[in-house]
Amino acid sequence: MSSELEPPEKKPKLTGNNDLCIETIDKCIENITSSEKNLQPIINDEFHMPIQLVKVYVGHIRSAKDISRTILILNERIPLKELSHLKRVRCQCIILCPTTFLHNMSSIQEYIEIHALELKDVFDYFKEINVPLLPPKIVSQYNETKKVWPCNFHPNTYFEKLVSDHFFSSYDVKLHRQFMGVVFEIAKWYVMHKGTSSVVGGIFENVNVTVVVNPINNRIVTIAYDYRHNHPMQHSAMLAIDNVAKTQNGGVWSTDYDNNLLPGLEQELIDYLKEKFSHFGIGMKKSKTDVQEEKSVNDLHGEGCGAKTDLHGEDCGHKTVVHGETKEKDGPYLCTGYYIYMLREPCVMCAMGLVHARAKRIFYCFNNSDTGALNSVVKLQTVASLNHHFEVFSGFL
């Protein structure tokens, strides 16, 4: 954000609409932070879909002693890669092929005689049945699938946890809800100090807030507010990624509020967060290299009290450091391993930005019915062709 695009410094007068917005936000904060309800993973629809069926031909074998030889021949001559999750035999009935394999042939007997001639007299009759098209992913699907036809299944503990109502421990639920409370407090601060919400009820539809957290030490790495009114690309998630990049000797948008620990943020907002959330670390921790460099500078100026550290007086941890002219970087690539907390579900642009930034988990409160890319319009995190996938959680209210 260039200085020309910054909102005016003068604090606007609070109106009745502002008061109502603040009251609404306060109620949300209370409901979010006081609830013990677990969060809801936003997962692939295939975990909840009813079993899909496909028509196949099965043959009833005349003699059970021919089953093994018949299976070997069928697996070689008529392999069923798309149905490999199914066991080929049930009692004396053997899956031969999907009905679509026959094309212009008049009967399954003709198909067998063409593709596996030695089996032409093995079966005493054929019939069409429905079998499960897709392999089960969770135990409940497996239990339904095996009622239709026997199948192979290996339980996945992670998948089972995803579909349960207790993905997070009670401690983690409380922590995630507190960070979402931070998101709402930031929204409230902008309403109070920038007059950004002039329409009551539209506060959750016209703005967004993004908070980036390092889960290793539960520090708030950066925050960002929605500045789309200044630039169409300055969505809060894009600005948050840019702010993280600034801590790693990168970033695109300039701002009057750059500092070493929370780039792109007004000092007044930083002070507000420090006072409101003193139990959270706020800002990147300074590296030992930074501390040593600042101590040297202070010594040159006769300041023997030592170097300043981060907003809470801590002097260790990783951060991007510039080493001379080489500009060598320390720390993760952008948001690698970080958790992202957002007021609203991000759009496709922001969601793809978070994919590129390698975020680990995305938490949001409200769906974005028009352009939401994690649940409402599409579930980007379930697109298999992407080279990075994050987890998504909601259900705060």
The residues near 150 (Cβ < 8 Å, ≥ 6 apart) are 86, 87, 90
CB 331 within 8 A of CB 319: yes
Model pLDDT, residue 190: 86
pLDDT tens digits for range 277-325: 888 888 766 544 444 444 544 444 444 433 333 333 344 333 333 333 3
Position 199 pLDDT exceeds 50:
no
Helix (H, G, I), strand (E, B) or coil at 281: strand
Distance of alpha carbon 221 from alpha carbon 210, whole angstroms: 11
pLDDT tens digits for range 172-195: 999 999 999 999 999 999 888 876
How confident is the model over 27-38, as a mean pLDDT? 96
CB 372 within 8 A of CB 337: no
CB 25 within 8 A of CB 203: yes
Task: Name which residue leads in pLDDT, 323 or 154.
Answer: 154
Distance of alpha carbon 53 from alpha carbon 145, whole angstroms: 10
Helix (H, G, I), strand (E, B) or coil at 96: strand
Q: What is the CA radius of gyration of the chain?
A: 29
CB 188 within 8 A of CB 263: no
Average pLDDT over the chain reads 83
Domain edges within the chain? 3-42+168-284+319-394, 51-162
How confident is the model over 372-376, as a mean pLDDT? 97
Distance of alpha carbon 70 from alpha carbon 67, whole angstroms: 5
How confident is the model over 151-159, as a mean pLDDT? 95
DSSP state of 38: P
How confident is the model over 327-348, as a mean pLDDT? 85
Model pLDDT, residue 298: 44
CB 43 within 8 A of CB 61: no
Please report which helix (H) or strand (E) contains residue 94, including its range.
strand 93-98
Task: Name which residue leads in pLDDT, 175 or 10.
Answer: 175
Alpha carbon separation from 224 to 270, 337, 341 (Å, rounded): 12, 18, 11
Position 209 pLDDT exceeds 90:
yes
3-state secondary structure 302-339: CCCCCCCCCCCCCCCCCCCCCCCCCCCCCCCCCCCCCE
CB 345 within 8 A of CB 351: no
DSSP state of 47: G
pLDDT tens digits for range 210-265: 999 999 999 999 999 988 888 889 999 999 999 999 888 888 877 665 555 566 67
Task: Name which residue leads in pLDDT, 249 or 171.
Answer: 171
Give the DSSP letter string of 158-202: HHHHHTSS-SS-HHHHHHHHHHHHHHHHHHHHHHHHH----STT-
Model pLDDT, residue 210: 97
Task: Name which residue leads in pLDDT, 288 or 129.
Answer: 129
CATH topology of domain 3-42+168-284+319-394: Cytidine Deaminase; domain 2 (3.40.140)
How confident is the model over 119-123, as a mean pLDDT? 94
Alpha helix segments (H runs only) across 48-106: 67-77
